[in-house]
Structure 1
């Protein structure tokens, strides 16, 4: 059965949606048809049916009794059958209603289908509605005896079933529940593969470039998209591995001649040319390290660990104090993030080194906003114009002369901010450049709380 359904089940999203809609429409049609059938006039219940039979038997006995004795017979019936309420009425008290074809209007649920069912006894149908002793409305089943006298048999009150016992409500509830379950099932069959595809696409590259194959199931279009994405993951992973090997080869090939040049330069006699050569070699090594770090997206293959923010910033301040630099720290206690320690350290040192070129008054501030940890590196240097900030996060972009007044500006390669931004984004974070109150630049880092 399952194989048959899988063969007949359409593959495309459009066909599956059409099938769900048609099935839902069919169930709605069934619902309204069933409601129409149930709402048609029907028998008032088994009690009324049994009452009609019993009343007809008693009236037949009265039809065979003399008119003088009928009242006594009614009293006797009442004493022996307390649930039967018969009344003798004069002839003509109730006029028989007829249909267009002249046939009597007798309720279809009555045990007799014709107005005259023998020995002159007639059933005139349901008579006038009256109020009983309790103030409830009661119908009267009217019979006419052979001599014209009429007998009113008061029908028992109709007892409505409880709300949940009403067959119409039960049917509506069942069909609505079935319809909702069908829609949920159909939607799940369509949406679940899309959700899994979206989840796989969203997670790829967030924490690792390792390919995580997505199950290829669901409608045809989703299967094609999942297959294409799995193929793309494999190709990207292959490109990343090739780039890593290429970067390692470039690093090795470039560092070897640079090392030989440095050794040769060290053997030169002291003088201005030697110092210039050593400075140029330092610049080349710095550019090489920065470029390789940025091209690797700040990734070192290190595992993520829980990092206490206050201890992390204190450790960075201690490192700078060892070289004679002073940093002010304002830390909120108890904050922690999940990240790769060496990469975040590199990002922070890049930002601090960049700020130190223009100002010695640097503050590190940590705080929490909702479910994010905010770390700010604040300086009071020249700052960066608003229209230039997006460009400054690009690699190899350097600021204008206002940001190049420091004595170490010659060592700026335009990779410090770009590398820090790449590392923060690799941690699913955000790096923003803001103005410092009173002038300067504040680099704001937002990371998820651990």
Structure 2
């Protein structure tokens, strides 16, 4: 199946050419069969006429001159000879030879008992230059002698097979060009649909696609446009709702803080103030998350290694232990601000829980991989998917006491998935956590 095309246009072309080849081969086999039948009839009719003419001629030739007459009637392809017996050639004649004998006797209007026929390889097995004696015939004359005839057959249509194969090759080539061009035009709307779906899956803004092409394709494009509109409206409504809730929480939180000012300063009021601060941070983080989700940044081709190096340099300038050694320039089509925000969240986590961050960048023809490693305690395997949920903070070293709101990994995963990539967590053998980001090269300039 490796030879089978993967694209729809290629499969249409392959199926059309395969159907053409099968139909041409069937036609060729039928043609060769009918050609052999036609050749049989022509040879039999011609030989029967010639032998009948030779018999009539010998009726007017004296007996002592018949040998010379037979020699004069002979040609290169049809030779005659007089003999007292039909010869051993006709002993055990095949069914085909018997059928030929009946047909030739009927054509010559004589009794079939006077006719003997032997079929050679030329007539029964496709005539060719090496056929030799294709047909032998013996007819008993009125005086009891046997007129032996030997017909040599050369295939007058031997070039038909080559012509048919040449016609098949030329027809296949022309058909291939026509089918490839036509199928590419037919599947062009599907290619546009696939590109638009891939961009929409990365979170980019996609304009409605033009609906053209075959009826089924137009319906598919129309369904995609409707789905895109509904999803965009749903996401926008959800974002506005969550942002409104987070914004409206500011008022009761502020009111509760004012009421706490009039209460005595003790452990209970300090605990309540801490809870309100935590709620305020969560509310602000939710608003920030919703604003970033709603932001539409265009994708462009950027030097990813330079982007990562500049980000790490900012951390190093602030005294953080962040290591990155760019090897070569790695170009990728992405939303640079979103990628920078995701990397910043992951580096902040690595510094908070592992005191240092080690970044590496690897490049392949299919994808770019960024790895952020730290020296922290790592994350249990059962928690590696849960930590991506919003506001989830583990109870070990990654607790509320660190001051995080639990949205950093959620934002990072949202950004990575918006680029069609994936983010995975794994504990390092030497200790610490390794975060791996894989960004596919789909859409790279």
Aligned twin of 1:86:
80
Q: State which of 115, 139, 159 in structure 2 corresponds to 1:124.
A: 115
Q: Which residue pairs with 1:325 in the alignment?
A: 320
Q: 1:442 Cα shift?
A: 1.0
Correspondence for 2:438: 446
Match runs of 1:348-427 below 5 Å: 348-404=343-399, 409-427=401-419
CA drift at 1:335: 1.6
Cα RMSD (Å) of the superposition? Answer: 5.3
CA distance in 1, matches of 2:311, 2:130: 92
Q: Cα distance 1:382–1:230, how it changes in 2: closer, same or farther (>3 A)? A: same
Asked whether the equivalents of residues 209 and 237 of structure 1 are also in contact (C-alpha less than 8 Å), the reply is: no
C-alpha deviations, 1:73-116, integer Å up to 9, x for none? 122234xx433311112156588999x9xx985364x5962442
> Within 5 Å, which residues of 2 pair with 1:181-260?
199=194, 204-208=200-204, 210=206, 212-213=208-209, 215=211, 229-246=224-241
Pairs aligned (count): 395
Equivalent residue number for residue 261 of structure 2: none
| 1:152 aligned residue | 148
Q: What's the offset of the Cα at 1:350?
A: 0.6
* Alpha-carbon offset, residue 249 of structure 1: 5.4
Find out whether 1:292 has 2:290 as its counterpart. Answer: no
Structure 2 residue runs of 5 or longer lacking an equivalent are: 1-18, 123-128, 259-264
TM-score normalised by L of structure 2: 0.69
Asked if the contact 2:201/2:420 (under 8 Å) is kept, the reply is: no
C-alpha contact 1:298 1:343 (8 A) present in aligned 2: no
CA distance in 2, matches of 1:252, 1:204: 29
Matches of 2:375 and 2:315, distance apart in 1: 18
Q: Distance between the aligned counterparts of 2:72 and 2:352, measured in 1?
A: 120
Task: Name the residue aligned to 2:424.
Answer: 432
1:307-322 matches, within 5 Å, as 307-322=302-317
Instruction: Pick closer, same or farther for the CA change 1:192–1:312 going to 2, 3 Å.
Output: closer
Deviates more, 1:197-206 or 1:83-92: 197-206
Output the CA distance in 1 between the equivalents of 2:219 and 2:101.
Answer: 68
2:69 aligns with one of 43, 68, 73: 73
2:426/2:433 contact within 8 Å kept:
yes
Superposition deviation, residue 32 in structure 1:
12
Runs (5+) with no aligned partner, structure 1: 1-22, 265-270
Give, in angstroms, the shift of residue 338 of structure 1: 1.4
Aligned-partner SS, 2:228? helix
In the TM superposition, residue 314 of structure 1 has moved relative to its aligned partner by 1.5
CA apart distance, 1:351: 0.7
- Indicate conservation of the 8 Å contact 1:48/1:155, yes or no: no
Could you tell me how far 1:301 is from its partner in structure 2?
A: 0.8
- Cα gap change, 1:97 to 1:374, in 2 (>3 Å): closer
Name the CA shift for 1:59/1:127 in 2 (closer, same or farther; >3 Å). Answer: farther
Paired with 1:114 and 1:343, the residues of 2 have a C-alpha distance of 98
Q: CA deviation at 1:316?
A: 0.8
The alpha carbon displacement at 1:224 in A equals 7.2
Q: Any idea what the Cα deviations from partners look like across 1:396-424, whole Å, max 9, x if unmatched?
A: 111122333xxx84421111111101101
Q: Distance in 1 between matches of 2:428 and 2:339?
A: 23
Where is the helix percentage greater, Structure 1 or Structure 2? 2
SS class of match (1:354): helix
SS of alignment partner, residue 76 of structure 1: helix
Note the C-alpha offset of 1:391: 0.6
The equivalent residue for 1:7 is none
| C-alpha distance in structure 2 between counterparts of 1:257 and 1:318, whole Å | 41
Further displaced range: 155-164 or 57-66: 155-164
> Structure 1-normalised TM-score?
0.68
